[in-house]
Amino acid sequence: MKELTQEEWQEKLKNDKDAVILDVRTEEEVDEGYIPNAKNIDIYKGQGFINEVEKLDKSKHYYIYCRSGKRSSQACTLLDQMGFSETYNLLGGFSEWEGDKTTD
């Protein structure tokens, strides 16, 4: 896992053809807005989270965020332990995100 500031995250993301954005917040939080093209897997689902993560391509690079950066840090650690090669945690999370946002 590597901790990235917003600036580092955006810079690295735009040059990464293997990037996958992973939002580990709850559905209610996601309904309030999210980073475009993010895949949502709620870390609070426990084994359900693990089951969904196991379906992901381990060779991709995962840019993971939550509301504040704490859950995403846990998710990065978990993915690292599961054999994912590159995980990046967004410092400050979505609550401090100043980049593009969207809602459905």
What amino acid positions are annotated as catalytic residues? 66
Q: Amino acid letter at 100?
A: D
Q: Sheet harboring 61-65: ordered strands across?
A: 2-4, 86-90, 61-65, 19-23, 39-40
Q: What are residue 75's phi and psi, to 5 degrees?
A: -65, -40
Cα 58 from Cα 5, distance rounded (Å): 23
Pairing of strands 86-90, 39-40: unpaired
